[in-house]
Chain A
């Protein structure tokens, strides 16, 4: 049952003098929700950027679903099945919600310029399918009514959902969510939690960065803790919670 989906080993990333990721090793198994926590500036987002190919790691090993993704381009990473959301929401602000999700289908479709111009039946069909799938995903995350609205006009919580729908549109095996609950009220957070469970039950593995300890504890199967670019703990939520190094790391900064 525990089959590794993502394996990284000895990952380093430096920005000038700053060692943002220091010898990180992680294994994420198929079907689990894996939590990544740590104080601000610990390197969580940087790890996401490395995993999605936006940053090139300095050294290390990175295999996903049996494929070597070390220093691969983002589009190769997405194509292999990793999708993400951003801590600071990065939607295509002046495209409609539906179009945002349709862009997510890009890697799973293939109409060329000629297809776009000449519109043979295959291209028409593909385009129709993109639209249908995008609308389905808006339903799935619970914002079907906003399909035609510009992304920048959606409420904050809906923008977060839209980002998840857009990421899901790439048919990921691993969905990486960067602080999806940030700025949400308790009710929205509960809904988000249910959504994440639904996604997992539909067979997508989740990697989750989150500050909301309650959410993390109630949701994640395993947790890793980063501090100053190093992994200082890993394991079941309860064990991690009582780990003295973790407590120290969190007490060093203002409690979240």
Chain B
């Protein structure tokens, strides 16, 4: 048996044990802790954020485009799901369109988010770095403002109140909104949703991994590394970047749909710019372009505030004997500090890919970059 076999066998074992751990996690949490079920919800959210950050990772980590409005696609997915699965539009939509099978809803959410991604990417992809950042940021704001205000002249989004009464997921004849008995074990809805989201999360991890090791993934990274050279190697950079946007957007759409189904309601408040920023932080803190790193980043950024929520008050009581500061404020303060410290200590992220680590070495990039600007300007004179 050669080394590679041993290695892949080890990998298989560790993958299986990881899978098992994730399967029994809800039982440990909801029985081991007092506030277990709220923790489990935090885990659900963490899984959703993992999907989001893997989606954003394609755009930012692989293709190297800074996107500050990513949460818009999450919103589009969530609202698509909500509109199809709640009574809100019942009077308007034909009956066959309402309450489609779960999978159809998910696919539609991904598809519509993807269309939005192409709509945003199409006209803006030739913009450089920070210009693209601010345009995507504007796009995120536009989507949110529309969600908030499209209750008039025709009530599409129900304005700031958002959409309620989203139907619970029905899958394989199961109603995920009710406890289910399987083999004598009672699965609460929180558990069922956890497994549902875990499944999609695993799916997205696999898709990410496969994209990474493909012709497409290499093309994304090549464009990030040197767009001019990528062009000269015959890559249709425009389409490939657009593809990154579309892929990222559909990941966002899927997680949005799952979010809507988990939550039972959606409102514009969940899609503020700070959320985009948070997802970006997950990607960068974890290690851009490295899937395990991004997952780690998503877990840390989404769970830390939850843990702090439970730790801070007892700590304040113990130290000062009373509540000195509002725990919510302190929690965010610490969170901000953690972000700063992590970046100062590990600027390349907590778990960078081998590539990124190498990038820290000083390089003589100056000339090539200047030349790239020259070229782009020459192009522009021509358009």
Contact = CB atoms under 8 A, between A and B. Distances in A.
Q: Answer whether A and B touch in the complex at a CB cut-off of 8 Å.
A: yes
Interface string B217-233: 11101100110111111
Determine which residue in B234, B247, B354, B378 has the highest number of CB atoms from chain A within 10 A of its CB, and name it. B234
A167 B234 CA distance: 10
Given A54-B231, A94-B359, A103-B218, A117 B207 contact: yes
A228 interface: no
Contacts of B221: 92, 94-95, 99
Contacts of B247: 113
Interface residues of B, number: 40
Interface residues of A, number: 49
A245 to B, nearest CB: 29
Interface string A68-88: 000001110111000110101
Nearest to B219: A106
A73 B215 contact: no
A54 B232 contact: yes
A56 interface: yes
Interface centre among B229, B365, B367 (most CB of A within 10 A): B229
**Max chain A C-beta neighbours (<10 A), residue from B217, B231, B381:** B231
Given A92-B222, A117-B210, A127-B215, A52 B232 contact: yes
A222 interface: no
A103 B358 contact: no
A79 B231 CA distance: 12
Contacts, number: 126
A89 B229 CA distance: 9
B317 interface: no
B226 A93 contact: yes
A90 interface: yes
A3 to B, nearest CB: 24
B234 A94 contact: no
A37 to B, nearest CB: 21
Nearest to B229: A90
Contacts of A115: 214
Given A90-B226, A95-B221, A117-B207, A166 B233 contact: yes
A104 interface: yes
Contact of B358 (A90, A106, A150): A150
B232 A152 contact: no
B236 interface: yes
A104 B43 CA distance: 42
Nearest to B370: A88
A153 interface: yes
A49 B341 CA distance: 45
B243 interface: yes
22 contacts: A15-B378, A15-B381, A54-B379, A55-B378, A55-B379, A78-B234, A88-B367, A92-B222, A93-B365, A95-B218, A95-B221, A95-B355, A102-B215, A104-B233, A105-B215, A107-B235, A109-B215, A113-B243, A113-B247, A117-B207, A119-B210, A170-B234
Closest A-B pairs by Cβ, 4 of them: A78-B234, A116-B214, A107-B234, A92-B225
Given A92-B222, A123-B214, 10 more contacts: A54-B379, A77-B234, A83-B232, A84-B232, A88-B368, A88-B371, A102-B218, A107-B233, A152-B361, A152-B363
